[in-house]
Structure 1
């Protein structure tokens, strides 16, 4: 029996182009193009997808293009990903071959985590990365 709190899964296919912000309490899979900010519980981005805007999620698995800042508790950047923007994370995995133009900053759980729209204070970026093959 499914509980009331069971999560749903939404898919935006490769034939979709959306202009506007997306806010979802569900898990989201995007293969199309989005021009706007995305806030969701879990984001999976396909290789052909392009997002122009900030991404905020509990967990994100990115394989396409993102032009904007990213804030996620658990972030996986796959080798096909092309990221342009600052990255805020609690746990980070980057596959060899991924392209990232921006700064990385570990979110401080003791303070309010910076939102994807806030810049990283100077000297706070951490170069430590976990690379996956």
Structure 2
């Protein structure tokens, strides 16, 4: 299943052994487990916890779990607990898991639905 929830939507995978130097543009979903040194523009981005992106990210939806050094613009953004982000974040809806680290400014996208929200997820250590 793709990051956008469609069952048969094509996606591209950048494996953990791949390093790309240059900008990426994809009309489909993109899953990054490797290293990207450049800007990324795609429909939906899923970033693995051991990956690194050095550049700006623009996507309709993004689920980030690795290192990002650059700005992020997404309508729907999920920041996993393993994510480390250095850069400004622009969003319509955002979910931030406890344990993640973000150094930058947050800005809500203009023209987004009034129900846009900021969600912080607490870490339940009770088991």
Give the structure-2-normalised TM-score.
Answer: 0.84
Matched, 1:66 2:68: yes
Matched, 1:41 2:43: yes
Q: Which runs of 4+ in 1 moved over 6 A?
A: none
Secondary structure of 1:48 counterpart:
coil
1:132 equivalent in structure 2: 121
Give the structure-1-normalised TM-score.
Answer: 0.80
* Whole-angstrom distance in 2 between the partners of 1:100 and 1:129: 14
Question: What is the CA deviation profile of residues 19-50 of structure 1, one whole-angstrom value per residue up to 9, with x for unaligned ones?
Answer: 00000000000000000000000000000000
Matched, 1:76 2:115: no
* Whole-angstrom distance in 1 between the partners of 2:68 and 2:43: 17
The aligned runs of 1:85-96 (5 Å cut-off) are 85-96=87-98
- Which ranges in structure 1 are unaligned for 5 or more consecutive residues? 1-5, 111-127
Q: CA RMSD in A?
A: 1.3
- Which ranges in structure 2 are unaligned for 5 or more consecutive residues? 1-7, 123-127
* Whole-angstrom distance in 2 between the partners of 1:107 and 1:94: 17
Equivalences, count: 111
* Whole-angstrom distance in 1 between the partners of 2:60 and 2:51: 19
Q: CA deviation at 1:75?
A: 0.1
Matched, 1:23 2:25: yes
Matched, 1:103 2:92: no
* Whole-angstrom distance in 1 between the partners of 2:21 and 2:35: 9
